[in-house]
Amino acid sequence: MTAQALDFSTLPGFGDALRSGDLEVRLARSTDEIAAAQALRYRVFVDELGATPNAAARASGRDADRFDGYCDHLLVIDHAKGEGPAAIVGTYRLLRRSVADRHEGFYTATEFDIAKALSMPGELLELGRSCVDAQHRTRPTMQLLWKGIAAYVFAHDVKLMFGCASLPGTDPAAHAAALSYLHHNHLAPEAIRARALPHLRVDMDMLPAGAGAHGDALKAFDARTVVAALPPLIKGYLRLGGYVGDGAVVDREFNTTDVCILVVTDSVTDKYFKHYSRQVGGGASG
Protein backbone atom coordinates (compact mmCIF):
# COMPACT_ATOMS: atom_id res chain seq x y z
CA MET A 1 0.00 0.00 0.00
CA THR A 2 1.31 3.46 -0.84
CA ALA A 3 1.92 6.13 1.74
CA GLN A 4 -0.40 8.50 -0.11
CA ALA A 5 -3.52 8.31 2.09
CA LEU A 6 -5.50 11.18 0.58
CA ASP A 7 -8.60 11.93 2.65
CA PHE A 8 -11.25 13.19 0.23
CA SER A 9 -13.22 14.77 3.07
CA THR A 10 -10.45 17.37 3.45
CA LEU A 11 -10.91 18.66 -0.10
CA PRO A 12 -13.11 21.77 -0.43
CA GLY A 13 -16.51 20.82 -1.82
CA PHE A 14 -15.93 17.07 -1.86
CA GLY A 15 -16.99 15.81 1.56
CA ASP A 16 -20.71 15.38 0.94
CA ALA A 17 -20.34 14.71 -2.79
CA LEU A 18 -18.50 11.43 -2.20
CA ARG A 19 -21.43 9.75 -0.45
CA SER A 20 -24.65 8.54 -2.05
CA GLY A 21 -27.02 6.83 0.34
CA ASP A 22 -25.18 3.81 1.73
CA LEU A 23 -22.40 4.14 -0.85
CA GLU A 24 -19.10 5.90 -0.23
CA VAL A 25 -16.04 6.31 -2.43
CA ARG A 26 -12.58 6.67 -0.88
CA LEU A 27 -9.04 5.31 -1.09
CA ALA A 28 -8.07 2.01 0.53
CA ARG A 29 -6.65 2.51 4.02
CA SER A 30 -5.18 -0.91 4.75
CA THR A 31 -3.67 -3.99 3.17
CA ASP A 32 -6.86 -5.85 4.08
CA GLU A 33 -8.91 -3.43 2.00
CA ILE A 34 -6.52 -3.80 -0.93
CA ALA A 35 -6.83 -7.59 -0.61
CA ALA A 36 -10.62 -7.26 -0.72
CA ALA A 37 -10.35 -5.15 -3.88
CA GLN A 38 -8.10 -7.79 -5.43
CA ALA A 39 -10.64 -10.49 -4.51
CA LEU A 40 -13.38 -8.45 -6.20
CA ARG A 41 -11.18 -8.14 -9.29
CA TYR A 42 -10.70 -11.92 -9.32
CA ARG A 43 -14.43 -12.55 -9.15
CA VAL A 44 -15.12 -10.17 -12.02
CA PHE A 45 -12.11 -10.82 -14.27
CA VAL A 46 -11.72 -14.57 -13.75
CA ASP A 47 -15.05 -15.98 -12.63
CA GLU A 48 -17.20 -13.70 -14.76
CA LEU A 49 -15.12 -12.59 -17.75
CA GLY A 50 -12.93 -15.63 -18.29
CA ALA A 51 -9.43 -14.37 -17.49
CA THR A 52 -6.80 -17.07 -16.94
CA PRO A 53 -5.32 -16.75 -13.44
CA ASN A 54 -1.75 -17.73 -12.66
CA ALA A 55 -1.07 -20.27 -9.92
CA ALA A 56 -0.67 -17.63 -7.20
CA ALA A 57 -3.93 -15.91 -8.12
CA ARG A 58 -5.81 -19.21 -8.24
CA ALA A 59 -4.49 -20.20 -4.82
CA SER A 60 -5.31 -16.84 -3.22
CA GLY A 61 -8.51 -16.02 -5.07
CA ARG A 62 -7.10 -12.55 -5.72
CA ASP A 63 -6.05 -10.73 -8.91
CA ALA A 64 -2.73 -9.17 -7.92
CA ASP A 65 0.47 -8.08 -9.65
CA ARG A 66 3.71 -6.23 -8.93
CA PHE A 67 2.11 -2.82 -9.52
CA ASP A 68 -0.48 -3.14 -6.74
CA GLY A 69 2.01 -2.49 -3.97
CA TYR A 70 2.69 1.11 -4.98
CA CYS A 71 -0.68 2.14 -6.44
CA ASP A 72 -3.57 3.88 -4.72
CA HIS A 73 -6.76 1.82 -4.76
CA LEU A 74 -10.05 3.68 -5.12
CA LEU A 75 -12.95 1.84 -3.48
CA VAL A 76 -16.71 2.04 -3.53
CA ILE A 77 -18.03 0.82 -0.19
CA ASP A 78 -21.62 -0.22 0.45
CA HIS A 79 -22.17 0.44 4.14
CA ALA A 80 -25.41 -1.53 4.01
CA LYS A 81 -23.17 -4.61 3.68
CA GLY A 82 -21.20 -3.74 6.81
CA GLU A 83 -17.70 -2.38 7.16
CA GLY A 84 -15.61 -5.44 6.25
CA PRO A 85 -14.27 -6.80 2.94
CA ALA A 86 -17.77 -7.77 1.72
CA ALA A 87 -18.71 -4.08 1.70
CA ILE A 88 -16.19 -3.27 -1.08
CA VAL A 89 -18.26 -3.37 -4.27
CA GLY A 90 -16.18 -1.34 -6.73
CA THR A 91 -12.54 -0.48 -7.33
CA TYR A 92 -10.16 1.44 -9.60
CA ARG A 93 -6.38 1.33 -9.49
CA LEU A 94 -4.65 4.72 -9.62
CA LEU A 95 -0.96 5.32 -10.30
CA ARG A 96 0.64 8.75 -10.59
CA ARG A 97 3.84 9.40 -12.51
CA SER A 98 5.50 10.84 -9.41
CA VAL A 99 5.01 7.42 -7.76
CA ALA A 100 5.67 5.20 -10.80
CA ASP A 101 9.02 6.90 -11.41
CA ARG A 102 10.21 5.74 -8.00
CA HIS A 103 9.18 2.14 -8.63
CA GLU A 104 8.70 -0.10 -11.67
CA GLY A 105 6.82 2.21 -13.99
CA PHE A 106 3.35 1.82 -15.48
CA TYR A 107 1.33 -1.28 -16.33
CA THR A 108 0.25 0.32 -19.61
CA ALA A 109 3.87 0.28 -20.78
CA THR A 110 3.76 -3.54 -20.88
CA GLU A 111 1.39 -3.24 -23.88
CA PHE A 112 1.89 0.24 -25.35
CA ASP A 113 4.73 2.64 -26.06
CA ILE A 114 3.65 5.65 -23.99
CA ALA A 115 6.85 7.69 -24.41
CA LYS A 116 5.03 10.61 -26.05
CA ALA A 117 2.46 10.78 -23.28
CA LEU A 118 5.27 10.71 -20.73
CA SER A 119 6.91 13.69 -22.43
CA MET A 120 3.95 15.84 -21.39
CA PRO A 121 4.90 18.07 -18.42
CA GLY A 122 3.07 17.84 -15.12
CA GLU A 123 1.48 15.02 -13.19
CA LEU A 124 0.09 12.02 -15.10
CA LEU A 125 -2.35 9.39 -13.84
CA GLU A 126 -2.71 5.79 -14.98
CA LEU A 127 -6.19 4.31 -14.51
CA GLY A 128 -6.59 0.56 -14.42
CA ARG A 129 -8.17 -2.60 -13.04
CA SER A 130 -11.63 -1.05 -12.95
CA CYS A 131 -14.45 -3.34 -11.88
CA VAL A 132 -17.76 -3.30 -10.02
CA ASP A 133 -19.66 -6.14 -8.38
CA ALA A 134 -22.44 -7.38 -10.68
CA GLN A 135 -25.20 -6.37 -8.24
CA HIS A 136 -23.84 -2.83 -8.00
CA ARG A 137 -23.46 -1.92 -11.69
CA THR A 138 -25.78 0.99 -11.33
CA ARG A 139 -25.58 4.65 -12.17
CA PRO A 140 -24.96 5.78 -8.56
CA THR A 141 -22.00 3.41 -8.22
CA MET A 142 -20.41 4.54 -11.48
CA GLN A 143 -21.05 8.19 -10.64
CA LEU A 144 -19.23 7.76 -7.35
CA LEU A 145 -16.25 6.15 -9.05
CA TRP A 146 -15.99 9.08 -11.47
CA LYS A 147 -16.41 11.56 -8.61
CA GLY A 148 -13.58 9.84 -6.76
CA ILE A 149 -11.35 10.05 -9.81
CA ALA A 150 -12.28 13.73 -10.20
CA ALA A 151 -11.30 14.40 -6.59
CA TYR A 152 -7.99 12.63 -7.11
CA VAL A 153 -7.29 14.51 -10.35
CA PHE A 154 -7.84 17.89 -8.75
CA ALA A 155 -6.04 17.04 -5.53
CA HIS A 156 -2.90 16.04 -7.44
CA ASP A 157 -3.21 18.52 -10.34
CA VAL A 158 -3.22 15.73 -12.92
CA LYS A 159 -2.72 16.91 -16.51
CA LEU A 160 -3.25 13.64 -18.39
CA MET A 161 -5.01 10.38 -17.58
CA PHE A 162 -4.33 7.18 -19.51
CA GLY A 163 -4.68 3.42 -19.28
CA CYS A 164 -5.77 0.24 -21.01
CA ALA A 165 -9.45 -0.26 -21.78
CA SER A 166 -10.81 -3.55 -23.02
CA LEU A 167 -13.16 -5.11 -25.51
CA PRO A 168 -14.22 -8.66 -24.56
CA GLY A 169 -12.54 -11.62 -26.22
CA THR A 170 -9.29 -12.22 -28.08
CA ASP A 171 -10.49 -12.08 -31.70
CA PRO A 172 -9.85 -8.53 -32.96
CA ALA A 173 -11.82 -9.27 -36.14
CA ALA A 174 -14.94 -9.62 -34.01
CA HIS A 175 -14.40 -5.97 -33.03
CA ALA A 176 -13.45 -4.69 -36.49
CA ALA A 177 -16.20 -2.05 -36.52
CA ALA A 178 -15.50 -0.82 -32.97
CA LEU A 179 -11.73 -0.66 -33.44
CA SER A 180 -12.11 1.07 -36.81
CA TYR A 181 -14.56 3.59 -35.38
CA LEU A 182 -12.20 4.42 -32.52
CA HIS A 183 -9.21 4.75 -34.87
CA HIS A 184 -10.99 6.97 -37.40
CA ASN A 185 -12.84 9.17 -34.91
CA HIS A 186 -10.85 9.30 -31.66
CA LEU A 187 -7.17 8.81 -32.52
CA ALA A 188 -4.97 10.76 -30.11
CA PRO A 189 -3.01 13.79 -31.31
CA GLU A 190 0.46 12.84 -32.47
CA ALA A 191 2.08 14.75 -29.60
CA ILE A 192 0.70 12.33 -26.99
CA ARG A 193 -0.20 9.31 -29.13
CA ALA A 194 0.52 5.93 -27.57
CA ARG A 195 1.32 3.03 -29.89
CA ALA A 196 0.90 -0.68 -29.39
CA LEU A 197 4.27 -2.36 -28.91
CA PRO A 198 5.39 -3.75 -32.29
CA HIS A 199 5.42 -7.41 -31.25
CA LEU A 200 1.88 -7.12 -29.82
CA ARG A 201 0.31 -4.71 -32.32
CA VAL A 202 -3.02 -5.34 -34.05
CA ASP A 203 -4.05 -2.74 -36.63
CA MET A 204 -7.30 -1.00 -35.65
CA ASP A 205 -8.24 0.52 -39.02
CA MET A 206 -9.69 -2.72 -40.36
CA LEU A 207 -12.60 -0.98 -42.08
CA PRO A 208 -12.76 2.32 -43.99
CA ALA A 209 -14.09 5.44 -42.30
CA GLY A 210 -17.32 5.45 -44.31
CA ALA A 211 -20.56 4.87 -42.44
CA GLY A 212 -23.78 3.51 -43.84
CA ALA A 213 -26.60 1.99 -41.85
CA HIS A 214 -27.06 -0.73 -44.44
CA GLY A 215 -23.58 -0.87 -45.89
CA ASP A 216 -21.49 -3.95 -46.44
CA ALA A 217 -19.83 -4.84 -43.12
CA LEU A 218 -16.59 -5.46 -44.99
CA LYS A 219 -16.57 -1.94 -46.42
CA ALA A 220 -18.01 0.36 -43.81
CA PHE A 221 -19.65 0.58 -40.41
CA ASP A 222 -22.50 2.50 -38.89
CA ALA A 223 -20.99 4.79 -36.27
CA ARG A 224 -24.19 5.17 -34.25
CA THR A 225 -24.62 1.41 -33.94
CA VAL A 226 -20.96 0.95 -33.03
CA VAL A 227 -21.04 3.59 -30.30
CA ALA A 228 -24.17 2.10 -28.75
CA ALA A 229 -22.44 -1.27 -28.45
CA LEU A 230 -19.14 -0.05 -26.98
CA PRO A 231 -18.33 -1.18 -23.42
CA PRO A 232 -19.61 1.38 -20.89
CA LEU A 233 -16.11 2.17 -19.64
CA ILE A 234 -14.86 3.11 -23.11
CA LYS A 235 -17.98 5.20 -23.74
CA GLY A 236 -17.35 6.95 -20.43
CA TYR A 237 -13.82 7.89 -21.47
CA LEU A 238 -15.05 9.17 -24.83
CA ARG A 239 -17.63 11.35 -23.07
CA LEU A 240 -14.72 12.89 -21.15
CA GLY A 241 -13.09 13.84 -24.44
CA GLY A 242 -10.83 10.79 -24.45
CA TYR A 243 -8.62 9.57 -27.30
CA VAL A 244 -7.25 6.16 -28.25
CA GLY A 245 -3.72 5.20 -29.15
CA ASP A 246 -2.59 3.67 -32.44
CA GLY A 247 -3.05 -0.08 -32.52
CA ALA A 248 -4.69 -2.62 -30.23
CA VAL A 249 -3.23 -5.46 -28.16
CA VAL A 250 -4.69 -8.93 -27.54
CA ASP A 251 -4.39 -9.84 -23.86
CA ARG A 252 -4.92 -13.59 -23.71
CA GLU A 253 -4.44 -13.73 -19.94
CA PHE A 254 -7.41 -11.43 -19.41
CA ASN A 255 -9.39 -12.65 -22.45
CA THR A 256 -9.59 -9.12 -23.89
CA THR A 257 -8.58 -6.92 -26.80
CA ASP A 258 -7.08 -3.73 -25.36
CA VAL A 259 -6.83 -0.16 -26.57
CA CYS A 260 -4.91 2.64 -24.90
CA ILE A 261 -7.11 5.48 -23.68
CA LEU A 262 -5.76 9.01 -23.10
CA VAL A 263 -7.69 11.93 -21.55
CA VAL A 264 -6.18 15.43 -21.35
CA THR A 265 -7.84 16.86 -18.27
CA ASP A 266 -8.00 20.45 -19.48
CA SER A 267 -10.21 19.30 -22.35
CA VAL A 268 -12.58 17.31 -20.14
CA THR A 269 -16.23 18.28 -20.61
CA ASP A 270 -17.90 15.82 -18.28
CA LYS A 271 -20.28 17.52 -15.84
CA TYR A 272 -18.60 16.06 -12.76
CA PHE A 273 -15.20 17.47 -13.64
CA LYS A 274 -16.63 20.88 -14.57
CA HIS A 275 -18.67 20.99 -11.35
CA TYR A 276 -15.76 19.99 -9.13
CA SER A 277 -13.34 22.27 -10.96
CA ARG A 278 -15.48 25.23 -9.93
CA GLN A 279 -15.65 23.97 -6.34
CA VAL A 280 -11.90 23.66 -5.90
CA GLY A 281 -10.93 26.76 -7.83
CA GLY A 282 -9.75 25.42 -11.16
CA GLY A 283 -7.97 22.21 -10.20
CA ALA A 284 -5.99 20.42 -12.87
CA SER A 285 -7.06 22.74 -15.66
CA GLY A 286 -4.87 25.43 -14.12
Q: What is the pLDDT at residue 8? A: 67
CA gap 257, 248 in Å, rounded: 7
Question: Is the predicted pLDDT of residue 51 greater than 60, yes or no?
Answer: yes
Q: Where are the alpha helices (DSSP H) in the chain?
A: 31-42, 55-60, 97-100, 115-118, 139-155, 176-186, 223-229, 232-239, 271-279
Residue at 2 is within a domain: no
User: 213 pLDDT exceeds 80?
Assistant: no
Predicted confidence (pLDDT) per residue in 198-209, tens digit? 999 999 999 887
- Is residue 3 in some structural domain? no
Q: What pLDDT, on a 0 to 100 scale, did the predictor assign at position 249? A: 98
In a domain, 1, yes or no: no
Residue 45 resides in a domain: yes
In a domain, 251, yes or no: yes
Query: What SS3 state is found at 269?
Result: coil
- pTM exceeds 0.85: yes
| Model pLDDT for residues 94-108, shown as the tens digit of each residue | 999 999 999 999 999
Residue 220 domain boundaries: 8-285
Number of domains comprising the chain: 1
Any domain includes 74: yes
117 within some domain: yes
Q: Does 43 reside within a domain?
A: yes
pLDDT digits (tens, 9 = 90+) for 160-177: 999 999 999 999 999 999
CATH of the domain at 178: 3.40.630.30
Tell me the average pLDDT of the chain: 86
